[in-house]
Structure 1
Amino acid sequence: MKLQNILTLDCTVCAVPAGSKKRILEKISAVAAVKMTDFSQFELLESLMNREKMGSTGIGNGIAIPHGRLVNAKHPVAVLLTTQEPIPFDAIDNRPVDIFVALFVPEDCCKDHLSTLQSIAKLFSNKQTTKQVRKCLNDQELFQLVSQMD
């Protein structure tokens, strides 16, 4: 599944102030909690933190794809955030991160989940794409940009 098929404007946030890994994961969980009313912000944060304990989801070049699996989730939800300043995130290249594409997925959709992660990684491996994302000035502009990507 492609990011464009699951990302919504209300889950797209540009230029978030965040100074730490925990703060950005809290912000991602807060944004997702509005959309995923069957789950508390704490449950969403816990799913992300559990995944981060296995290893950082920072894939390099200032990008991270935090993700969590949720029992009884009905459908996947994506959250796209950019930060005002890059933050330390223990990424594989040790560079700070300023683009976060988070996924919350039903626990029983492992195959779909992996293909979605691959699709996101491929989309953001393009340096031109990340340059454009970093230039976005507001939520609408960021959402429109990603919606039109192939």
Structure 2
Amino acid sequence: MKLQDILTEDCTSCAVPLSSKKKILEQICSIATSHIPEHSTFELLQSLLAREKMGSTGIGNGIAIPHGRLTGTNQVVAVLMTTEQPVAFDAIDNRAVDIFVALFVPEDCCKDHLSTLQSIAKLLSNKQINKKIRKCTSNHELYELINQAE
């Protein structure tokens, strides 16, 4: 599954003025709650934090793909967020992160989950796309950029 297949415009936030890993994860969960009403913001946050405890989801080059598995849901939800300033995120290359693509997936969809993560990582390995993402100034512009990306 591609990011374009699961991302909605209301789950896209551009140039958010947050400066800590925890605040960013909380904001991501707050946004996702509207699409996963059977789970609270706290439950969503716990799913992301459980994954972060296994190792940072900061994949390098200023990008993180936090993700969590959820019981009692059958849909995949993505949240795309950029921050005004890069934030320390314990990424594998020790660089601060300013592009976040979060995924919330059903617990029993492991295979789909991995292919979606691969698809997102491939998209974000394109330096031109990342440059354009970082230049976006509105949620709509960011959403449209992703929708038009190959």
Give distance in 1, aligned partners of 2:126 and 2:139.
Answer: 21
Tell whether 2:101 aligns with 1:98: no
SS at match of 1:73: coil
TM-score (norm 2): 0.99
Q: Which amino acid aligns with 1:99?
A: I
TM-score (norm 1): 0.99
Aligned position for 2:39: 39
Give distance in 2, aligned partners of 1:72 and 1:39.
Answer: 9
Give distance in 2, aligned partners of 1:43 and 1:104.
Answer: 11
Shift of 1:35: 1.5
The CA RMSD measured in Å over matched residues stands at 0.5
Aligned position for 1:109: 109
Q: Which amino acid aligns with 2:11?
A: C
Q: Deviations over 1:16-62 (max 9, x none)?
A: 11111101000000000112111100000000000000000000000
Give distance in 1, aligned partners of 2:40 and 2:141.
Answer: 28
Give distance in 1, aligned partners of 2:91 and 2:18.
Answer: 16
SS at match of 1:46: helix
Give distance in 2, aligned partners of 1:138 and 1:37.
Answer: 26
Runs of 4+ off more than 3 Å: none
Q: Which amino acid aligns with 2:135?
A: K
Q: Identity over aligned residues, as a percent?
A: 68
How many aligned residue pairs are there?
150
Structure 2: state its 5+ residue gaps: none
Name the stretch that deviates more: 30-39 or 106-115. 30-39
Aligned position for 1:11: 11
Structure 1: state its 5+ residue gaps: none
Aligned position for 2:84: 84
Give distance in 1, aligned partners of 2:85 and 2:32.
Answer: 21
Aligned position for 2:121: 121
